[in-house]
Copies of this chain bind each other. A is one copy, B any other.
Amino acid sequence: MVKFSLMPHEEQFYTLFENSARNVVKAAQTLKELMDNWRDVKEKVAEIAKLEAEGDAITHQIIAQLHRTFVTPFDREDIAQLAMALDDVVDFIDSSADAMLLYKIVESTQRSRELADLIVQATEEMAKAIPLLRNKGELKKMLTCCIEVNRVENVTDEVYRSAIAELFDNTKDLVMVIKWREIYEHLESATDRCEDVSNVLEGVALKYG
Are A63 and B203 in touch, CB under 8 angstroms? yes
Q: How large is the interface on A (under 10, 10 to 19, 20 to 34, 35 or more residues)?
A: 20 to 34
Query: How far apart are A61's CB and chain B's nearest CB, in angstroms?
Result: 12
Are B178 and A177 in touch, CB under 8 angstroms? yes
Identical chains bound together, number: 3
Contact of A175 among B161, B168, B179 (CB under 8 A): B168
Are B203 and A67 in touch, CB under 8 angstroms? yes
Are B67 and A206 in touch, CB under 8 angstroms? yes
A50 at the interface (CB under 8 A from B): no
Contact of A102 among B67, B98, B164, B206 (CB under 8 A): B164
Contact of A64 among B64, B165, B175, B206 (CB under 8 A): B206
Are B168 and A207 in touch, CB under 8 angstroms? no
What is the interface of chain A, defined by CB distance below 8 A to chain B?
63-64, 67-68, 98, 102-104, 161, 164-165, 168, 174-175, 177-179, 181, 203, 206-207
Given contacts A102-B161, A102-B165, A174-B174, 19 further A-B contacts (CB under 8 A): A63-B203, A64-B206, A67-B203, A67-B206, A67-B207, A68-B206, A98-B161, A102-B164, A103-B165, A103-B168, A104-B165, A104-B168, A168-B175, A168-B179, A174-B175, A174-B178, A175-B177, A177-B178, A178-B181
Closest 5 CB pairs of A and B: A67-B207, A67-B206, A102-B165, A174-B174, A102-B161
